[in-house]
Amino acid sequence: MAVGIPDEYRGETVKAFIVLKPGEVATEEEIIDFCREKMTAYKVPKLIEFRNEIPKSAVGKILRKILRDEEVEKKKK
């Protein structure tokens, strides 16, 4: 799941939120390298955050707004 988050230099940058399957292991560098091979440069996430779960609505839709709002709050602190 990727979300555009505020960035002082660029205005906005891409941050990926990753939930690994049980037993799987990955590093930020591996994720970014994989994305560089498969995506155009402007779509490659600059930041990676590993999570246990991603917020979803009652019908299972991913709530990107909550992820973005969390990042905005982090920047304010």
Predicted TM-score of the model (pTM) = 0.85
Which pLDDT band holds residue 55 (cuts at 50, 70, 90)? very high
Q: Identify whether the C-beta of residue 54 lies closer than 8 Å to the C-beta of residue 1.
A: yes
Q: Which of 26, 23, 32, 30 is nearest to 2 (CA)?
A: 32
Domains (range + CATH), the chain: 2-76 (3.30.300.30)
Given strand 11-18, what is the order of strands in its sheet?
2-7, 11-18, 47-50
Is the per-residue pLDDT at 77 higher than 80?
Answer: no
Looking at residue 75, its pLDDT comes to 79
Mean pLDDT, the chain, whole residue set: 92
